[in-house]
Structure 1
Amino acid sequence: MLDPVTKDDPERMQTPPPTPPSQPIFNLPRVVSTLAVLLIAIHLMDSNLLSRDGRFELMVTFGFLPLRYLPDAVAQYQLPGGEGARVWTFLTYAFLHGGWGHLFVNVMWMAVFGSAVARRFGTLRFLLLSAVSAVAGAGLHLGMHFGEAVPMIGASAAISGQMAAATRFVFLPGGPLGAMRRTDAFAYRIPASGALESLSNPKVAMFLLVWFGINLLFGIISLPIAGEGASIAWEAHIGGFVAGFLLFPLFDPVRPRRT
């Protein structure tokens, strides 16, 4: 369902419905549960069914490899995927993970913040926002690591975009994490604030401060991914987060708050 709320009267958006349906906290939207199952299935295949050479080829073909964007790198290094991988890997890298810990952390955050965004946006808008955030994350990573031969994988940039989009409404009064919080469907239809107004919300400001602080810490001391032994691509996280925060109005089906 592309636009679950735009047919509502904007005046009614300000007043809770008299008998709102309940929204169980662990009842994940179908798109979120489907994505989680897909990510788990891909990692099961990668870790159990492929040989070591097969896993390497899968990662180079579908992971995001900055080396691929050097002139003539595809032919010189005979990179799998050819020239087409210069395009599709901006998105496909998000479906691969370095280990079960890496996958678990991403699925957990998607279940928490992605679910809120999916309930508000509907399936198609949610998927589009996630894809744009993944592309933005890869783009910033490429700018910071151009020509490097280390592939990047993981859904973290897409999920960072979901987290950023969620901050635009979940902390508002009546929102799922705001004052006078609600747990029904109306909590996900609260008209959002503008970007600058959102930053003035103490809860949003604190969340952003902690989130950016943690990611900058990852960049400074190169912490591994949940014990998997690989460094965190913090630049991709930031690229996805900024995209999700700033592009939120382009995907939001709820009319913005009046000032």
Structure 2
Amino acid sequence: MVLLAASLPVLFWLQTNLPDGGLSLAFQPAVLMQGEAWSTLFTSMFMHHGWTHVLMNAVAAFAFGPPVARLMRGPEGAASFLGFYIVTGLVGAVGYALVHPDSFDAVGGASAAVFGLMGAAFRLLGRRDGTLRPLTDRRFLLMAAVIMAVNIGVGLIGLVPGAAGARVAWEAHAFGFVAGALLIGPWLRLLGPRRRPFDSPPNLGDPPA
């Protein structure tokens, strides 16, 4: 989790040294709909519009990622966690492209993936044993409603912190959040840690002295 959060500003620093400032890494929905530049759905998750933008995402990832990361331990768990992060980010990007199929705006940022972690983390609120809250749970629905209201409100203002003139892709955030909340259960069942079945010897007496 620390490495993921720390990688965002490092990657942004590398982005600022690119000839086009990383613009070619962003995706444009209209271009995607023409069947071109599909790789930008992936690369766009690793570019940002400014230091404020990337630092906000890094802090949010560090805040909401640990509860999810704790469910996926070991090297396989680390790969599973990274896969979950990427998949929710991709869902957010695709969702935005479907809502704005004619847009040539350059879209980028880790926000959709971070919102995916947030959606999964909200299903763990108050659960110390790693079990998930049902999607119909009142506490989960309340927190989801609050974060979506804030997300839409900020989106309507149309301001990306540290990037004057850029609009907030709040739809991508929403798709990422929903993906995280819905996928965390099946993801853990398929790619989570394998639970060892309970076992005991046939002789339950005290061990030999």
Asked if these proteins are the same fold (TM beyond 0.5), I'd say yes
2:115 matches 1:160: yes
Match of 2:48 among 72, 86, 97: 97
Match of 1:44 among 7, 10, 13: 13
Structure 1 alignment gaps of length 5 or more: 1-31, 73-82, 176-186
2:22 matches 1:67: no
- Which letter maps to 1:153? G
TM-score by length of 1: 0.66
Aligned residue number for residue 205 of structure 1: 141
DSSP 3-state at the match of 1:247: helix
213 and 42 in structure 1: CA distance in 2 versus 1, 3 angstrom threshold: same
Deviations 1:6-57 (A, max 9, x none): xxxxxxxxxxxxxxxxxxxxxxxxxx2222232222211222x234xx32xx
63 and 98 in structure 1: CA distance in 2 versus 1, 3 angstrom threshold: same
Contact 1:191 1:254 in 2 (8 A): no
The alpha-carbon deviation at position 120 of structure 1 amounts to 1.4
Deviations 1:202-252 (A, max 9, x none): xx2332121010111123332x12242121100000010000001111222
The alpha-carbon deviation at position 254 of structure 1 amounts to 7.0
Aligned residue number for residue 125 of structure 1: 80
Q: Distance in 2 between matches of 1:45 and 1:127?
A: 21
The alpha-carbon deviation at position 194 of structure 1 amounts to 2.6
Structure 2 alignment gaps of length 5 or more: 195-209
RMSD between aligned alpha carbons? 1.9
2:163 matches 1:228: yes
- Which letter maps to 2:184? F
2:100 matches 1:150: no
The alpha-carbon deviation at position 59 of structure 1 amounts to 1.7
2:140 matches 1:140: no
Match of 2:153 among 217, 225, 228: 217
**Structure 1 runs of 4+ with >4 Å offset:** none
Q: After TM superposition, list the pairs within 5 Å mapping 1:228-247 onto structure 2.
A: 228-229=163-164, 230-247=166-183
Moved more, 209-218 or 154-163: 209-218
Contact 1:140 1:236 in 2 (8 A): yes
- Which letter maps to 1:161? G
Aligned residue number for residue 7 of structure 1: none
TM-score by length of 2: 0.81
Q: Could you tell me the percent identity over the aligned residues?
A: 31
